[in-house]
Structure 1
Amino acid sequence: MSLLDSITGPRDLRTLSRRQLEDLADEIRSFLITKVSRTGGHLGPNLGVVELTLAIHKVFDSPNDPVVFDTGHQSYVHKMLTGRLEGFDRLRQRGGLSGYPEPAESEHDWVSNSHASTALSWAEGLAKGYALRGEKRTVVAVVGDGALTGGMAWEALNSIADHPELRLVVVVNDNGRSYTPTVGGLANHLAGLRTDHRYEKTLSLIKRTVQRLPLIGRPVYDLMHGFKTGVKDVLAPQSMFSDLGIKYTGPIDGHDIAVLTNHLSQARQFGGPVIVHCVTRKGRGFQAAEENEEDRFHAIGKINEFTGEPLTASVQATWTDAFAEAMVQLGQRRPDVVAITAAMLYPVGLGRFAAAFPDRIYDVGIAEQHAIVSAAGLARAGLHPVVALYATFLNRAFDQVLLDASLHRTGITITLDRAGVTGTDGASHNGMWDMSLLGLVPGLQLAAPRDQTRLVEALDRAVDVDDAVTVIRYSKERLPDEIPAVAHVGDGAARVDVLRRAEGARVLVVGYGQFVGMAIGVADRLADQGVAAAVVDPLWALPVSPDLVRMAAGYDLVVTLEDNLVEGGVGQKLRARLAEADASARVLTFGVPQQFLTHGSRDEVLEEVGLTAARVAMEVLGTILAQPSAGAVTEPASPRTS
């Protein structure tokens, strides 16, 4: 029986020797590489926190002492040590383990929201609650992968410093990276602490010299804490944390279990807020990561566990690839175009733009709010910024879009990658809120392209708008084949592309973005049942095109499909505009229900909520049969076999 198999909970670690813990660390790394290579997931971050997580669970008493992770994707080892070893065969799959902490899985998980820079606020609230209740429980916040570049983390630190009675340990997992090397003043400061060897060398020399003194060596050394602090202030300044009034220890080797255990034990005994600064290496123990760029293995699909090569070749470009190419071409034509990313240069497709135009790219760290307002400033200075984010992260910057960028009529463009249902990363990463939220913003224009041609067209138009916020949203899925229009109604932002005509049709299917393909599938299935339906795509979904309203008013039944919430979505907005126009057309809106969706593949999630061409067509047919006037029904065609 391996050591790993003998661990049923954190308490099992307390009987292990240092050598056994080191052997267990090796077993954990081998397990992670094997399992995550087969399922996909966040491999690099978790390989970097093996010893750190072992030390945390050896010193603290989880779940009595809550451990909160930020960001949550570095919690795989924590899951392994808290009784979930068997679940890794279905990591991030339907019915399997979440890729993030999940309270529904275990009492050891406290927070399921996997957005960065929130753990310190959670931890401060928990610690204050326990203090008020008179409970001597210590709260641990593990902060890493760039989470300290987020402004919310510093709001929390400011508050923590005001409560010296809190039993709170902040473990900074400093690997110098988020998805890519962490940027900004804070990152530079931590890098200085990491790389200034004068402090550790000097302290080591003092320790060796003093401890050689006969009889009194060790006691004298233990009494030298004040001198040690002075050395640290000179050789590796700690002013950033000491000025806040928070006890600081480090930087320490985040892969040395004995050192980690010692520092964490002292931090726990201190009885007040303590920052423990640990230096780790992302991807540690995986040869493919160590010999190449470790960020390549931050998040992976299925790979060869020995070489790190993908098991399935990418034969079709993604929306991100298309955006990356379009941005380089745009940058060549437009010297006023600049780009902004929030610590996700490569995931959002700005790596090529950065390589081509290094003076026109700004990585602001995990700070979406700042990204939007900084973009507004750039626009006021005469440039046109393109802010590339994941759709789910725009939620954090809604106020800035509304009251900074839009209120001031600044010409900025926001591109939203991973829009709609993303699936495997779970509830917090689905980009299903943006159209409902952005529909509240006066003057904002939003495009949902259906293919690469329309993406390029939307981007070209967006950067020409200098007095309004423009947004372009697209999926993380593979690019679909081009879907040509057979006709156009209107032009500019109001243009509606006609994709399918149908003689005598009384049903109009309106598809938005990634769901345009589904809209065509719905029309095909209706045709099989003798119901003629036309299909259109309003490339610019917001504001609702007057031409679309006039067109839709001529049909008995209008069906809308969007990869976004139904509530407040563009379908409901079209229904409202039709009502204002006194149109008699009935509108059926299909989109994501107002609920948090459990992780699984995108297709599994869509099937569960009824968003498939077959299910939508069935509901439309039910409506037509209940109200025959809603659509003409003729003799059904032969069933399709494909």
Structure 2
Amino acid sequence: MIGQAKPLLDRVTIPADLRALPETDLKQLADELRQEMIEAVSVTGGHLGSGLGVVELTVALHYVFNTPDDRLIWDVGHQAYPHKILTGRRDQIRTLRQGGGLSGFTKRTESAYDPFGAAHSSTSISAGLGMAVASELTGKKNTVVAVIGDGSMSAGMAYEAMNNAGAREKTKLIVILNDNDMSIAPPVGALSAYLSRLLSSKSFVSLRHGAIDLAKKSLPRTLKDAALRAEEYARGLVTGGTLFEELGFYYVGPIDGHNLDHLLPVLKNVRDAEDIGPVLIHVVTKKGHGYAPAEAAGDKYHGVSKFDVVTGAQSKPKSNAPSYQNVFGESLIKEARKDDKIVAITAAMPSGTGVNLFAKVFPERTFDVGIAEQHAVTFAAGLATEGMKPFCAIYSTFLQRGYDQVVHDVAIQKLPVRFALDRAGLVGADGATHAGSFDLAYLGCLPDFVIMAAADEAELVHMVATQVAYNEAPSALRYPRGDGVGVEMPEVGVPLPIGKGRILREGTTVAILSLGTRLAEAMKAANELQAFGLSTTVADARFAKPLDVELINRLAREHEVLITVEEGSIGGFGSHVVHHLAAAGLLDNGLKIRPMVLPDRFIDHDAPAKQYDAAGLNARHITATALAALGRTDAVLTVSA
């Protein structure tokens, strides 16, 4: 159907238009919606497989529920591309993840049909319960539906929310478990579909409530409890939902998430049921469904670059440099061959962190704990207590979810857990939700933490070796998303002296002290400043903590201007440098110190180079900062232009 007309989809601008269609048209509409999504993502790249798997479910939900008055929450938001097409954003769908275009996730400021922003997983049930309780308190009659993937259900937060929701017997919250990977229930088929319709029907729900009320009123306590247990377990044995029933949810399923004849009656039954309390509908889908190249791929085309619609072949740009994540994985492999105490931990991001490479060589020393960052951190802490050398590879933005564990379970006990923080700094198309903006600030305040930032892929190799060798306290190594800069790679990593930076270029007037991969921009700025007659020193701090105070003192004493540059928020490396200089009295001699950090705002998705330009952290901004500090306003205008 690729490239064919979409007559039904052309009639649907918002879900109200969808609800005006007869049910007999919905299968064709779903086919057209899948076609539109494939064509759009082939142009923009993005998350494909998960969205393909929920096309029929998306159509059914917007058909049955009165969105946006009824709240529909997608967890995680990358499965919401079909939802965006049906909710007034079809004309923008080919701007997905592009600068100024649609977000790749749900976003409250983007549409009234996105009641909750979801780019990190496992938040939907908590948010949905909050919305449902708010509806109760304000007297609204709307329904709240949370769609959560089976991967997201691996996080403890989902069960915390279910435990809370299950205790509220009268609060109607509909949770749809989109099971597209793991087998947690019997196979889907005609009998299962029949049972699901029966269990969700008004007559069965009414009969069940009547029986429960009768048991509560007329039976002795022991018999009453036995009767209620028998009813729950009998249903659980047939449907596989005992776990969710124990958490207080009325379980329905499993049902075929690609069969509208199965989905629609169950959703209608649950929508119309009164006093049913929290409900979990177990829907089984397949990632990549309906697009042969995605169905055949091992990752079901979870995340893709631009691709040919007919063949599915992706047009990934070639690079002359390895990706940072692969450099990390390969470096860890080399170190692990020499040290059998090294283990790798990831929280459902093996390929995104390079841990997948490690797992191929050392499967028994690799642990993917699922979307459970809190557990990952404390699990690593437990390993460290027994003399192992755990490398906990987690995106900077996701480690925020395990911060209490970093403080309480690792830092206070001074355990040598090694954190590898992928996606440090700005990350491009994923935008603000995935940017590693805050780790320098939230880790830098913790006593005894060693924090490194790689300026290039060669430095990353040495810093992995440094973490292996350092066994006195926790350490963190941050590096960005994407490819390196193409420097010559060392054969083996050599441990660096803790807390020592390096000077790459000597000058006399301006000193640029860079932390991380802005070093290349700092070198460009030095060349630009040379053209203005300003001799410039460029240094790579390497360590955000402990500071190289000897290097900082020298730069402060021997230069008129000291500029710190980092890919992080205020409160990070530059703040520590200024604090040290103030305490040492080195700000009293007229030194002009200028910390350059990410601005105090969230930066939307765009190409990384454009993001850093918007953040004011490219070479021209460094040059302009130095010129302004020296009062060269005329030159500043020249650079800015």
Q: What is the TM-score normalised by the length of structure 2?
A: 0.88
* 1-structure distance, mates of 2:18, 2:237: 38
Q: Which runs of 4+ in 1 moved over 3 A?
A: 200-207, 218-232
* 2-structure distance, mates of 1:299, 1:194: 29
SS in 1 for 2:567: strand
After superposition, the Cα gap between the structure-2 partners of 1:243 and 1:222, relative to the gap in structure 1 and judged at 3 Å, is: closer
The corresponding residue for 1:55 is: 60
Aligned-residue sequence identity (percent) comes to: 35
**Contact 1:144–1:174 (CA under 8 A) maintained in structure 2:** yes
| Pairwise CA distance, 1:627 | 11
The corresponding residue for 1:573 is: 576
The corresponding residue for 1:170 is: 175
Q: 2:241 aligns with which of 226, 238, 242?
A: 238
Q: 2:536 aligns with which of 511, 518, 533?
A: 533
Structure-to-structure mapping, 1:383-422, within 5 angstroms:
383-422=388-427
* 2-structure distance, mates of 1:481, 1:290: 35
SS in 1 for 2:594: strand
Structure-to-structure mapping, 1:144-223, within 5 angstroms:
144=149, 146-176=151-181, 191-195=183-187
1:247 counterpart = 2:253: no
Q: 2:72 aligns with which of 67, 75, 85?
A: 67
The corresponding residue for 2:623 is: 617
* 2-structure distance, mates of 1:609, 1:201: 56
* 1-structure distance, mates of 2:159, 2:193: 32
SS in 2 for 1:365: coil
**Contact 1:499–1:535 (CA under 8 A) maintained in structure 2:** yes
**Contact 1:496–1:547 (CA under 8 A) maintained in structure 2:** no
The corresponding residue for 1:587 is: 593
The corresponding residue for 2:223 is: none
SS in 1 for 2:404: helix
* 1-structure distance, mates of 2:10, 2:195: 42
**Contact 2:13–2:88 (CA under 8 A) maintained in structure 1:** yes
The count of corresponding residues between Structure 1 and Structure 2 is 600
| Pairwise CA distance, 1:224 | 9.7
After superposition, the Cα gap between the structure-2 partners of 1:466 and 1:36, relative to the gap in structure 1 and judged at 3 Å, is: same
Q: Provide, for residues 419-448 of structure 1, a one-character-per-residue CA deviation record: whole Å limited to 9, x for no partner.
A: 101121122111111101111111101110
| Pairwise CA distance, 1:222 | 11
The corresponding residue for 1:270 is: 273
* 2-structure distance, mates of 1:204, 1:370: 36
Q: 2:121 aligns with which of 106, 113, 116?
A: 116
* 2-structure distance, mates of 1:548, 1:49: 56
| Pairwise CA distance, 1:461 | 1.2
Structure-to-structure mapping, 1:310-459, within 5 angstroms:
310-315=314-319, 316-459=321-464
**Contact 2:463–2:496 (CA under 8 A) maintained in structure 1:** no
Structure-to-structure mapping, 1:412-561, within 5 angstroms:
412-482=417-487, 492-502=497-507, 505-554=508-557, 555-561=559-565
More divergent stretch after superposition (58-67 vs 308-317): 308-317
| Pairwise CA distance, 1:625 | 2.1
* 2-structure distance, mates of 1:63, 1:204: 28
**Contact 1:18–1:258 (CA under 8 A) maintained in structure 2:** no
* 2-structure distance, mates of 1:418, 1:223: 52
| Pairwise CA distance, 1:236 | 4.4
* 1-structure distance, mates of 2:290, 2:191: 30
SS in 1 for 2:630: helix
| Pairwise CA distance, 1:21 | 0.9
* 2-structure distance, mates of 1:228, 1:613: 69
* 1-structure distance, mates of 2:255, 2:550: 64
After superposition, the Cα gap between the structure-2 partners of 1:159 and 1:205, relative to the gap in structure 1 and judged at 3 Å, is: closer
Q: Provide, for residues 464-494 of structure 1, a one-character-per-residue CA deviation record: whole Å limited to 9, x for no partner.
A: 2223111010111310132899xxxx96112
The corresponding residue for 1:605 is: 611
**Contact 1:494–1:547 (CA under 8 A) maintained in structure 2:** no
SS in 1 for 2:59: helix
Q: Counterpart amino acid of 2:328?
A: F
* 1-structure distance, mates of 2:150, 2:28: 26
* 1-structure distance, mates of 2:193, 2:244: 23
Structure-to-structure mapping, 1:80-91, within 5 angstroms:
80-91=85-96
The corresponding residue for 1:182 is: none
* 2-structure distance, mates of 1:152, 1:312: 36
**Contact 1:194–1:279 (CA under 8 A) maintained in structure 2:** no
**Contact 1:45–1:145 (CA under 8 A) maintained in structure 2:** no
**Contact 2:455–2:515 (CA under 8 A) maintained in structure 1:** yes
After superposition, the Cα gap between the structure-2 partners of 1:325 and 1:206, relative to the gap in structure 1 and judged at 3 Å, is: closer
SS in 2 for 1:410: coil
| Pairwise CA distance, 1:312 | 3.5
| Pairwise CA distance, 1:605 | 1.8
* 2-structure distance, mates of 1:229, 1:409: 47
SS in 2 for 1:499: strand
Q: Provide, for residues 493-551 of structure 1, a one-character-per-residue CA deviation record: whole Å limited to 9, x for no partner.
A: 1221111123xx12110111111111111111111111110101021221212222222
| Pairwise CA distance, 1:586 | 2.2
**Contact 1:424–1:599 (CA under 8 A) maintained in structure 2:** yes
SS in 1 for 2:461: helix
SS in 2 for 1:305: coil
* 1-structure distance, mates of 2:22, 2:98: 35
* 1-structure distance, mates of 2:621, 2:395: 29
After superposition, the Cα gap between the structure-2 partners of 1:256 and 1:522, relative to the gap in structure 1 and judged at 3 Å, is: same
Q: Provide, for residues 525-580 of structure 1, a one-character-per-residue CA deviation record: whole Å limited to 9, x for no partner.
A: 11111111010102122121222222223222111111111x10101211111111
Q: Counterpart amino acid of 2:501?
A: V
After superposition, the Cα gap between the structure-2 partners of 1:228 and 1:281, relative to the gap in structure 1 and judged at 3 Å, is: farther
* 1-structure distance, mates of 2:504, 2:170: 65
The corresponding residue for 2:227 is: none
Q: Provide, for residues 573-618 of structure 1, a one-character-per-residue CA deviation record: whole Å limited to 9, x for no partner.
A: 1111111111133211111012111222112222222222112211
Question: Over the residues paired in the alignment, what is the CA RMSD in angstroms?
Answer: 2.8
1:289 counterpart = 2:294: yes
* 1-structure distance, mates of 2:560, 2:356: 48
After superposition, the Cα gap between the structure-2 partners of 1:276 and 1:14, relative to the gap in structure 1 and judged at 3 Å, is: same
| Pairwise CA distance, 1:203 | 6.0
* 2-structure distance, mates of 1:192, 1:296: 20
After superposition, the Cα gap between the structure-2 partners of 1:623 and 1:544, relative to the gap in structure 1 and judged at 3 Å, is: same
**Contact 1:484–1:499 (CA under 8 A) maintained in structure 2:** no
After superposition, the Cα gap between the structure-2 partners of 1:13 and 1:228, relative to the gap in structure 1 and judged at 3 Å, is: farther
Q: Counterpart amino acid of 1:276?
A: I
SS in 2 for 1:553: helix
1:106 counterpart = 2:106: no
* 1-structure distance, mates of 2:513, 2:238: 65
**Contact 2:122–2:157 (CA under 8 A) maintained in structure 1:** yes
The corresponding residue for 1:214 is: none
**Contact 1:47–1:285 (CA under 8 A) maintained in structure 2:** yes
Q: Counterpart amino acid of 2:629?
A: T
**Contact 2:407–2:446 (CA under 8 A) maintained in structure 1:** yes
After superposition, the Cα gap between the structure-2 partners of 1:446 and 1:205, relative to the gap in structure 1 and judged at 3 Å, is: closer
